[in-house]
């Protein structure tokens, strides 16, 4: 694994995908938030890549993440210029960019500061060519599987989101890691009951619901985030689009919070306000 700025890319080739798929097949057969002490610190953020004053937004995003000391950062709507910039940030320490060519084309990547064991890009059904990025890391002798996704976007695309989750489910469930995390931009809110039922069949801990029962947790918030309101579909409500979900027999969620909820200044016009992204990010911590 390499820093993206020291080689053409730290992104593995399709040959790596095939190797990972073989391994998986064998396994199948056989304000600024503050961090607390934890065994694993995890963030996810749809960064609204490349648009609306990206330099200013990215600097704000890096400054928000730095004090949290995340081991793993899942990113959606990311591109290679962002990753080049990210791995050069002193705020992110020794993080390296991890993706594959196909998944990076689909806007998915991780920033990690742990040894990466395997990675795999899964093609998902649907008209937008969505992907899911599987990455296995090791920390203190224990393996963790992280899967980030960015599901179909349009309000009427519930059936596609259900099919996409159904494609991910068997690989996720059968992967032989003791700790597994599904996270990213699911592109549906809690009121989309049929899709939520498919996700519930994974039998994962929904960290936000566990730690903040009764709180909406809107990561797409038209009231608080001008950029979300500007980019919303007609009649789209505020929704909890982004999630962090855990499967582990020993790790417990200790904390979760929204990121980037404060304006970082004016946008193009005086009545517009700029945020780190049109999505709020999420940060969670797990410990035994």
Return d(Cα 83, Cα 226) in angstroms, integer.
26
- Give pLDDT tens digits for 179-193: 999 999 999 999 999
266 pLDDT more than 60: yes
Structure-token pair, residue 240: 């909890």
Per the listing, tokens 């093609």 go with 123
Query: Cα(first)–Cα(last) distance of the chain, in Å?
Result: 28
Distances (CA, A) of 96 to 40, 72, 175, 268: 17, 10, 23, 33
**Please, which residues have CB within 8 angstroms of residue 188's CB and are 6 or more apart in sequence?**
151, 158, 161, 195, 196, 239, 241
Confidence of residue 265 (pLDDT cuts 50, 70, 90): confident
CB neighbours of 122 closer than 8 A, spacing ≥ 6? Answer: 131, 132, 133, 134, 167, 168, 171
pTM over the 0.85 mark: yes
Tell me, what's the pLDDT at 271?
55
What pLDDT digit, counting tens, does each position of 30-50 carry? 344 555 567 999 999 999 988
User: Please, are residues 162 and 156 in contact by the beta-carbon 8 Å criterion?
Assistant: no
Query: How many CB atoms are closer than 10 A to CB 179?
Result: 20
Rounded CA separation 102/172 (Å): 19
What integer pLDDT is reported at residue 16 of this predicted model?
52
- Which has the higher per-residue pLDDT, 22 or 51? 51
Instruction: Return mean pLDDT, the chain.
Output: 89
The pLDDT value given to residue 33:
57
């Amino acid at each position: 694994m390499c820093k993206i700025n020291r080689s053409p890319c730290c992104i593995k080739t399709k040959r790596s995908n095939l190797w990972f798929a073989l391994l998986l097949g064998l396994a199948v057969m056989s304000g600024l938030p503050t961090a607390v002490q934890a065994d694993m610190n995890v963030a996810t953020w749809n960064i609204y890549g490349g648009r609306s004053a990206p330099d200013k937004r990215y600097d704000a995003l890096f400054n928000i993440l730095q004090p949290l000391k995340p081991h793993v950062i899942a990113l959606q709507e990311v591109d290679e210029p962002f990753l080049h910039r990210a791995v050069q940030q002193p705020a992110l320490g020794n993080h390296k960019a991890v993706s594959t060519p196909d998944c990076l084309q689909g806007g998915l990547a991780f920033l990690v500061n742990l040894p990466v064991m395997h990675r795999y890009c899964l093609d998902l059904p649907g008209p937008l060519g969505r992907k899911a990025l599987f990455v296995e890391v090791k920390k203190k002798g224990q393996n963790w599987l992280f899967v980030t996704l960015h599901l179909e976007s349009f309000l009427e695309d519930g059936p596609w989101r259900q099919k996409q989750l159904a494609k991910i489910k068997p690989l996720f469930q059968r992967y032989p890691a003791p700790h597994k995390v599904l996270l990213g931009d699911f592109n549906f809110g809690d009121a989309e009951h049929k899709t939520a039922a498919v996700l519930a069949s994974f039998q994962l801990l929904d960290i936000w619901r566990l730690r903040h029962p009764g709180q909406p947790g809107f990561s797409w918030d038209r009231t608080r985030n001008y950029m979300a309101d500007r980019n919303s579909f007609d009649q789209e409500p505020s929704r909890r689009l982004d999630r962090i979900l855990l499967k582990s027999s020993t790790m417990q969620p200790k904390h979760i919070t929204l990121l980037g909820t404060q304006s970082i200044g004016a946008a193009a016009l005086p009545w517009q306000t700029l945020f780190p992204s049109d999505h709020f990010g999420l940060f969670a911590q797990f410990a035994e």
